[in-house]
């Protein structure tokens, strides 16, 4: 019997129960708390930065994430087109025909506007005394202005003259500045010119149109190029 008691005691003494590592648990708890605090701090800083950001900063931040958003609703947009006299868009030019240079501005508020052009970086003035390779086609009306007050957007390259012509003149100066009386409307300028053949084949001619309001502020610009053939 004494031998049996000895074996039972030996078995009991060799069985151990793991003791929780209190220090390890405490370290994990403190590490988790530190991470949570850092996350909360970063979020607070980001929120404060966003709250104090300017309008431009917010727009830049939106664009940085690949979402381009027009902060101003219905912004003015400008475009250009060059057509032959049959209202067909062209990308090359020669002296055998005449050309329409179109400038379209959409969503314009009521104001007066002035349109000017440059050609390859120099002022474009197609009068008979100018040095530009384009001349006005006639001694009569060469510049025309159309206004669209409807809900549709006008074609950048019209296949005919728009319906609502509001002005005409010999040059752009005769129709510009021009008053836009609608609360929101579109203006289209057409200039009828003829290329004089003075540039060698392959020359790239680049027009830049600039539209300014009554205070002299640039509303928008548009660019188009055509190649001499």
pLDDT band at 149 (very low <50, low <70, confident <90, very high): confident
Q: Rounded to whole angstroms, what are the CA distances from 165 to 6, 9, 124, 154?
A: 118, 114, 24, 13
In which band, very low, low, confident or very high, does the pLDDT at 162 lie, cut at 50, 70 and 90?
very high
57 and 88 inside one domain: no
Residue 51 domain boundaries: 22-71
Instruction: Single out the residue in 71, 87, 103 at which a domain terminates.
Output: 71
Distance CA 193, CA 196 (A): 9
Alpha-helical runs (H) found in the chain = 2-14, 22-52, 55-64
- Please check whether residue 171 lies inside any domain of the structure: yes
Range 172-176, long-range pairs (CB < 8 A, 24+ positions): 172/115, 172/116, 172/117, 172/143, 174/143, 175/143, 175/144, 175/145, 176/113, 176/114, 176/115, 176/116, 176/145
Domain C-terminal end among 7, 39, 71: 71
Query: What local confidence, expressed as pLDDT, does residue 86 receive?
Result: 96
Is the pLDDT score of 84 beyond 90? Answer: yes
In a domain, 12, yes or no: no
Q: In sequence order, which residues have a C-beta less than 8 Å from that of residue 123 and are 6 or more positions away?
A: 116, 117
Strand pairing category for 165-169 and 143-148: antiparallel
Q: Is residue 14 one of the residues assigned to a domain? A: no
At residue 173 the predicted structure's pLDDT band, cuts being 50, 70 and 90, is: very high
Domain check: are 40 and 150 in the same one?
no
Q: How many residues does the chain have?
A: 229
**Does one domain contain both 40 and 82?**
no
Is residue 180 very low, low, confident or very high in pLDDT (cuts 50, 70, 90)? confident
User: Is 122 or 72 the better-scoring residue by pLDDT?
Assistant: 122
Confidence band (pLDDT; 50, 70, 90) for 21?
A: low
Cα distance between residue 186 and residue 79, in whole Å: 12
Looking at per-residue pLDDT, the higher value among 227 and 39 belongs to 227
Residue 115 inside a domain? The answer is yes
Instruction: Tell me, yes or no, whether 176 lies in a domain.
Output: yes
Instruction: Please check whether residue 29 lies inside any domain of the structure.
Output: yes
Q: Are residues 210 and 120 in the same domain?
A: yes
pLDDT category of residue 76 using cuts at 50, 70 and 90 = confident
Contact 193, 126 (CB under 8 A): yes
CATH number of the structural domain spanning residue 101:
2.60.40.740
Total tally of structural domains belonging to the chain = 2
Higher pLDDT, 32 or 189: 189
Mean pLDDT (the chain, rounded) = 77
What's the rounded Cα separation, in Å, for the pair 120 and 114? 20
Tell me the pLDDT tens digit for each residue of 23-60.
Answer: 555 555 545 555 455 445 444 544 444 444 443 443 33
Whether 37 and 141 share a structural domain: no
């Amino acid at each position: 019997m004494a031998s049996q008691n000895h074996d039972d005691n030996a078995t009991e003494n060799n069985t151990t129960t793991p003791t929780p590592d209190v220090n390890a648990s405490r370290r994990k708890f403190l590490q988790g708390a530190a991470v949570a605090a850092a996350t909360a701090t970063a979020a607070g800083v980001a929120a404060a930065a966003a709250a104090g950001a300017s309008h431009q900063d917010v727009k830049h931040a939106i664009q940085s994430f690949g979402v381009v958003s027009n902060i101003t609703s219905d912004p003015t947009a400008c475009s250009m087109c060059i057509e032959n006299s049959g209202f067909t868009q062209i990308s090359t030019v020669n002296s055998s025909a005449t050309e329409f240079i179109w400038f379209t501005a959409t969503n314009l508020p009521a104001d007066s506007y002035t349109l000017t052009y440059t050609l390859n970086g120099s002022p474009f003035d197609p009068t008979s005394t100018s040095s530009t390779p384009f001349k006005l086609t006639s001694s009569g009306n060469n510049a025309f202005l159309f206004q669209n007050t409807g809900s549709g957007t006008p074609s950048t390259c019209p296949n005919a003259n728009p319906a609502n012509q509001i002005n005409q003149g010999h040059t752009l100066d005769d129709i510009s500045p021009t008053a836009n009386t609608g609360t929101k409307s579109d203006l289209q300028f057409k200039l009828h010119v003829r290329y004089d053949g003075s540039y060698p084949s392959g020359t790239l001619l680049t027009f830049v149109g600039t539209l300014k309001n009554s205070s002299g502020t640039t509303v928008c610009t548009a660019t188009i190029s055509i190649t001499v053939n």
